[in-house]
Structure 1
Amino acid sequence: PSAGSVSIFVPLEHAVLAREVTSFDRTKMFARYSLVGALASAVGALAAALPEFITPFGLMQLTAIKLMFVLYAVVGVVGGLFYARIPPRPVSHADVKPAALGPSRAIVLKLAALFSLDAFAGGFVVQSLLALWLFSRFHLSLAEAGVFFFWTGVLSAFSFPVAAWLSKRVGLINTMVFTHIPSSLALGLAAFAPTLPLALALLLVRAALSQMDVPTRSSYVMAVVSEAERAAAASFTSVPRSLAAAVSPALAGALFAASFRAWPLLICASLKITYDLLLLWQFRHLKPPEEG
């Protein structure tokens, strides 16, 4: 999805989904929500190889790539139709009306700043830039890249239920931090990998660990604010993330152009480890209700 659609829909979805489950089921629910989205993204990555497969049938590669943009737009329209078919929820007197940030403002501001640092770091290694690095360093083909990113998406997807299981045993913050740090180390090591198989192996390790903070992060934000503040908190932590993630790809592109091709990976890994340590330091004592 585009950054704009994420900024609009995701905060509302998070607030609505958190309202429908108990505290003990909240992380599991976010894991299932993230699992579906990640599997869909994995299929999309695999579909990126379609132009290379259909050009032998007489279609020019540029035309095939343009058709992929048309397909992207069609899928977006279909997604909008699915949203339109969601039935409205009956209004109850017990419902809590959404409100602006109040008692939780300081917590949300800190989380938004940390999540923005994480998103800024991630922007140095967005999928397109990582593919470019693999193309330039190891001459990976478009079809091979599509298959590789499909499997990274699958690994990420099935890490979400594992994250929900792990969070019940070690807590949300610990799950976020102690899965994220090894994934960043794997990314940093991949920058120095001398062969393609080793680089891909390290990146697969990263894929299996790096997204385990996604359902746990969403669950934590919904847990540490009041129910009335959930929509505002989700928006306030999501929008700065989108803005921060929009800045770093340009910086990474400049590094690529200057032939510093490993630097984006190293910068991403370093900043993400910094984020993890700051998150642990700031929030290790603020427990969600189910961990109290």
Structure 2
Amino acid sequence: MNLEWISKDGKLLLGARIVRTFSYGFLSVILAIYLKLIGFNDILIGLVLTATLVNSVFFNLFSSAYANKFGRKKILALYAALMIVSAIIFFVTDNYVALVIAALVGTINVTGSEVGAFLSLEQALLPQTVKDVKKRNSIFAIYNSVGTFAMSAGVMVSGLPSLLQKYYGFDEIGAIKFLFLIYATCAIATLAIYLTLSKNIEVRSQTPKSNLSLKNISSKSKGIIGKMSLLFAVDSFGGGFVIQSIVSFWFYTRFGADLSTLSYVFTIAGILTAVSYIASTRIASKIGLVNTMVFTHIPSNVLLILLAFSPSFSIAMSLYFARMSLSQMDVPTRQSYLMGVVNEDERIPAAVFTNTSRNIAQATSPSLIGLVISALSLSAPFVFGGVLKIAYDIGIFFSFRKIKPPEEQ
């Protein structure tokens, strides 16, 4: 693939995305299982997972307020340094308070698709790394594809504890803890990449200021950002019930799937998702970004609801693969759409406010999962998530079908 149309900084951002999401891949599979093994109950597991999402809310707002003031490169480097800190805490202790603190400060991601602190900044920077506006859809598709391929590779690593137990005599908890060292190594590599970014990623204005306020954003963009933030919140609240750590826990508990099997399942699902990102660009060029977002997402959510009623592991796996081949097509299309319909100087606040609304909503769901499972069933979160996400799809279609980005006008 010829990537000459992407600047050096753009390629570095893609590299950071690859390394970072590789580590998120195995972490998303093993974290809930690890917490269960060290004695946490379902409610406590939900609270720790919620803490990993709450940090995204705080750091997104921090990015908006200070990225242009202190420097985007410095903020990205800070977040990478916090990844290192959280990895060390998870490795050295199983104290509940310490792990919650690590989850709160560590930019940990366990959703199976990135929603964390890095995303808003990188999402706003990517259009600056290509000169041709027609390539905007492509850079977002590549950005999400390489991240998902890397996450799939990371998921494969989640099978490593089984090998350490079998061939090297590790106990189950000790074998899983070894992965936190790999996570720390990835965080160090991510930090090194960010430190090589050039000044071209910084704000172009001579008077950098906070972007947290909406007062300098046009009324048209305010309306778009407000509606999208609300709808994204609905989608993410539903998605919070089916983050990858929960799906992993569901397969593990309901069908007895071991870590090795789960690593293969999520790797295949990740490959299907990565391919779907590239396909979404081609579909969008034919039917438009909004139509692509909606008409691929509704079928995936129907499959999610059906997954809850799977009578066997093989059927559940088939439904899950079918769902993952469709469910993320809206990611690069909505990112590109949002960056296309707001002005260039509005991109960081647009990304921050919409992603923050997603993070707040998604941070709520995992804390409720333990209660939902206890009161209803292990599969109930899948139904809750599917219904809410279909409501989001309907809202997106009727709110934005007439608002076109420049290349579609």
Higher relative contact order (CA 8 A, sep 6+): 1
Give, in angstroms, the shift of residue 94 of structure 1: 9.1
User: Residue 62 and residue 222 in structure 1: after superposition, are their counterparts in 2 closer, same or farther (change >3 A)?
Assistant: same
Give the Å deviation of 1:160: 0.5
Deviates more, 1:282-291 or 1:68-77: 68-77
Match of 1:20 in 2: 129
In structure 2, the residue matched to 1:40 is 150
| Cα pair distance change 1:287/1:40, threshold 3 Å | same
Mapped contact 2:238–2:365 kept (Cα < 8 A): yes
Unaligned segments of structure 1, at least 5 residues: none
Q: Secondary structure at the match of 1:182?
A: helix
User: Which sits farther off after the overlay, 236-245 or 19-28?
Assistant: 19-28
- C-alpha change, 1:134 and 1:86, in structure 2 (3 Å) is same
Q: 2:231 aligns with which of 98, 101, 114?
A: 114
- How far apart are the structure 2 equivalents of 1:116 and 1:212? 18
Q: Aligned AA for 1:74?
A: T
Matches within 5 A, 1:200-211: 200-211=317-328
C-alpha distance in 1 between matches for 2:179 and 2:231: 35
Report the equivalent of 2:273.
156
Provide the C-alpha distance between the structure 2 equivalents of 1:51 and 1:15, rounded to a whole number of angstroms.
37
Q: 8 Å contact 1:96–1:228 — kept in the other structure?
A: no
Measured against aligned partners, the alpha-carbon deviations of 1:88-120 in whole angstroms (never above 9, x if no partner) come to 228898999785541111210110111111111
1:66 aligns with 2:183: no
The amino acid across from 1:131 in the alignment is: S
- In structure 1, C-alpha distance between the alignment counterparts of 2:374 and 2:311, rounded to whole Å: 21
Does residue 120 of structure 2 align to residue 11 of structure 1? yes
TM alignment of 1:165-244, pairs within 5 A? 165-244=282-361
Decide whether the 8 Å contact of 2:125 with 2:201 is kept in 1.
no
Output the CA distance in 2 between the equivalents of 1:286 and 1:96.
Answer: 32
Q: Tell me, yes or no, if the aligned pair for 1:97 and 1:228 is still in contact at 8 Å.
A: no
Matched AA of 1:140: A
Q: CA RMSD in A?
A: 2.1
Q: TM-score, normalised by structure 2?
A: 0.68
Query: Are residue 283 (structure 1) and residue 400 (structure 2) matched?
Result: yes
Equivalence for 1:82? 193
Deviations 1:144-182 (A, max 9, x none): 011101111111111101001100000000000000001
After superposition, the C-alpha distances for 1:222-261 in whole angstroms (9 at most, x for unaligned) are 0111111011101111112112111101212222234511
Structure-1-length-normalised TM-score: 0.94
CA distance in 2, matches of 1:93, 1:285: 31
Distance change (3 Å), C-alpha of 1:79 and 1:92: closer
Instruction: State the AA in 2 paired with 1:73.
Output: A
Given the alignment of the two structures, is residue 31 of structure 1 paired with residue 141 of structure 2, yes or no? yes
Taking structure 1 as reference, are residues 230 and 257 closer, same or farther at Cα in structure 2, changes over 3 Å only? same
Contact 2:140 2:336 in 1 (8 A): yes
Q: Percent identity?
A: 38
CA distance in 2, matches of 1:83, 1:167: 31
- Counterpart CA distance in 1 for 2:326 and 2:133 is 24
Secondary structure of the structure 2 residue equivalent to 1:210: coil
